[in-house]
Amino acid sequence: MREPVVVSGAILSVAGLSAGYVGEDVIYDIGFEVDEGEAVTIIGSNGAGKSTLFRAIMSMLTPSAGTVRFDGSDITGLATHRIARLGLAYVPAERHLFPQMSVTENLLLGAFPDRPDPAIQDSVFDVFPRLAERKTQDAGTLSGGEQQMLAVGRALMSKPSLLLLDEPTTGLAPLLAAEAYKALARLRDDGLTLVVAEQQVPLALELASRGYVIDHGRFGLSGPSEELAGNPEVQRAYLGVA
Ligand SMILES: Nc1ncnc2c1ncn2[C@@H]1O[C@H](COP(=O)(O)OP(=O)(O)OP(=O)(O)O)[C@@H](O)[C@H]1O
Ligand SMILES: [Mg+2]
Between the CA of 52 and the centroid of ligand 1 the distance, in Å, is: 6
CATH of the domain at 212: 3.40.50.300
Distance, CA of 100 to CA of 120 (rounded, Å): 23
Name the region of 104 (left: φ>0; alpha: ψ -120 to 50; beta: rest).
alpha
Distance, CA of 167 to CA of 150 (rounded, Å): 14
Listed residue (36, 2, 30) closest to 16, CA to CA: 30
For residue 29, the enclosing domain spans 8-87+160-174+183-242
- Is 131 a member of any domain? yes
Listed residue (173, 175, 236, 239) closest to 204, CA to CA: 239
For residue 199, give the ligand 1 atom closest to its CA.
Answer: 25
pTM score: 0.94
Question: What confidence score (pLDDT) does residue 242 get?
Answer: 65
Based on the fold, state whether residues 133 and 222 are members of the same structural domain: no
Neighbours of ion ligand 2 (CB under 5 A): 50-51
Contact 131, 103 (CB under 8 A): yes
Based on the fold, state whether residues 145 and 170 are members of the same structural domain: no
Question: What confidence score (pLDDT) does residue 3 get?
Answer: 59
Closest C-alpha residue for ligand 1 atom 18: 49
User: pLDDT digits over 73-90, tens only?
Assistant: 999 999 999 999 999 999
User: pLDDT digits over 108-140, tens only?
Assistant: 999 988 888 999 999 999 999 999 999 999 999
- Is 92 a member of any domain? no
